[in-house]
Amino acid sequence: MTTKEQKIEAAVAAGEIPGLILLATDTADKFYYGKAIGNASLKPGAERPMTLDTTLAIASCTKIITTIAVLQCVERGQFGLDDDVSTVLGELHDLKVLKGFEEGTEAPILVPAKNKITLRHLLTHSSGIAYDFADPNMIRWRASTGHTPDIGESTPLLQRATLPLLFEPGEGFVYGYSLDWAGILVARLNNVSLEDYIQKNICEPLAITDLTFHLEKNEEVRAKLADFNFRMGGMTQFATPADPNGQLTWIPGRVWPDPVVEDYGGWGALTSGPSFMKVLVSILRNDGKLLRPGTVEDMFTDQLSTASKEMLNATLSIPEVNNYLGGTPLGLQKTWGLGGLIVLEDHTTGQKAGSLRWAGLPNLFWWIDRKVGLCGLYASQLVPTGDPKSMEWSTVFIQDMYERVERFRAKV
């Protein structure tokens, strides 16, 4: 009988998905799974194997790290979750809400926002701030200013993330630059760069030595960097590939700038799979190395207003959008905690209601399940995001880990 692990290995060997790093562990520190499969580069003539210490661009997996940094500031009394962030982030003062476009001229219709953006809004994507390179209305607004945004551009964050809002803060849900703003807040509150803050307050307590926003400052990390891969078959911006069985090809260079001009708290970190797992493990085990127990409890608590939750679930009811936004199970009710999406119902993989999970653009997926006592990471470097084959095989991996931990515990 072919095991799930063997099926995943066969899919990589057949070129169905690129090299993978697969990791999982439990609350008791007794169950562990770690495996690197396939190649870190598909460059013709220069293929090299994926190893557990391979450096990955973790993209939006950065968001839970930035969230933890923010929550540390809250614990110290530097800022409150419901404080007006414009008191520190002056750029977010007196924002306007985009209500549409004038017919014929494409001039944006902007009205002053009534609500203030709070820190809770930033951490839960309920601020109204979208990504200008992904949201259709923001792309249209950018076009009205004569600019077509791209994820690979090196425009400073304060320029690319100062945008009109799509709705009143606290009254909707849209994925965007909110965590990048939260990262700037951490830097300003502590008078250091976000990189330096994270090194001291997250990396040092967890003995992480290979996490950075700046490869140009850490050649050892750069030397282990995996290449990106692309699924052939045509795509629209951040949509599902036209052909989910399209051939994989090597991408020369990087998908986003290297070096970067600043620390992007929403998507800019690079590290290895095991180092990222240290963050998940600390939260799963509630070991006090990063956050107090009560703060960890808040991470797994529904943080959205009714209107925001309704908009989140309506957004994730569209399969293609759901794949882009974390690839969470379709048909299940969801909300947002602090650091990730909370699935409110049990799933057929074995994942329980109340689990926290999220993803990264190159088809990375992580989860923390406190009921079962299991966390894990499926990590590739494949674009476009929301790849259907990656959704399929990451689900197989998650189910395999739940079955393995159950068998392991039955033997103990």
Identify the residue whose tokens are 């119902």.
345
Residue 125 region, left (φ>0) first, then alpha (ψ -120 to 50), else beta? left
Q: How many residues are there in the chain?
A: 412
**Phi–psi pair at 295, nearest 5 degrees:** -70, -40
The answer to whether 29 and 35 have CB atoms below 8 angstroms apart is no
Q: d(Cα 153, Cα 258) in Å, to the nearest integer? A: 10
- Among all residues, which ones are annotated catalytic? 60, 63, 175
Q: d(Cα 123, Cα 337) in Å, to the nearest integer? A: 8
Number of helices (H), then strands (E), belonging to the chain: the values are 14, 16
Q: d(Cα 166, Cα 127) in Å, to the nearest integer? A: 9
| Cα angle 335-272-57, degrees, rounded to a multiple of 5 | 65
Q: Which of 124, 147, 138 is nearest to 63 (CA)?
A: 124
Q: d(Cα 111, Cα 121) in Å, to the nearest integer? A: 20
Residue 369, token pair as written in the block: 């399940």
